[in-house]
Amino acid sequence: MSENNPPHSAMANLAQSEPTVAKSYYERHIFFCLNERKNGEGCCVLQGAQAAFDHCKSRVKALGLSGPGQVRVNKAGCLDRCAGGPVAVVYPEGTWYSFVDNSDIDEIVDSHLKNGQVVARLRMPPDVGR
């Protein structure tokens, strides 16, 4: 390539022609740890995580929040924050939650997943790990 046409110029032109902000397929994902440890260690599934996942999925669907451009409720393996379990994390914000019952899940759905407002009282401290 000549000095007048450096190799990166084609990429620069391509980048200029594409939108600057790409919309994600889903606005938000919530991942529930559904890991079950066989060796007797504490785990989210023993603390009601499956029931919370099922309730969240049903509630999101009932409110018409599921589908492209909206919310996706996902299962996850171990999220390695067992000490705070049961746990769920909402992306793209990366907000980690611990919950006790369906009313906590309803609050996460209504406040965060529907309206984008973090539920401060259910946030996990950043230092909680395994």
Please give the pLDDT value at position 14.
45
In degrees to the nearest 10, what's the CA dihedral of 54, 99, 23, 75? -40
Per-residue tokens: 72: 């996706």
Residue ranges making up the domain that contains 43:
25-122
Please give the pLDDT value at position 73.
98
The CA distance from 43 to 78, in Å, is 8
In a domain, 74, yes or no: yes
In a domain, 43, yes or no: yes
In a domain, 6, yes or no: no
44: left (phi over 0), alpha (psi -120 to 50) or beta: alpha
pLDDT tens per residue across all 130 residues of the chain: 445 544 544 444 444 544 555 578 999 999 999 998 887 777 888 889 999 999 999 999 999 999 999 999 999 999 999 888 899 999 999 999 999 999 999 999 999 999 999 999 999 998 887 7
Q: Calculate ∠ Cα 51-57-63, nearest 5°.
A: 130
For residue 33, the domain's CATH number is 3.40.30.10
In a domain, 15, yes or no: no
In a domain, 5, yes or no: no
In a domain, 11, yes or no: no
In a domain, 88, yes or no: yes
In a domain, 33, yes or no: yes
* DSSP class of 121: G
Q: Calculate ∠ Cα 22-116-81, nearest 5°.
A: 95
Task: Output the pTM of the full model.
Answer: 0.79
Domain count, the chain: 1
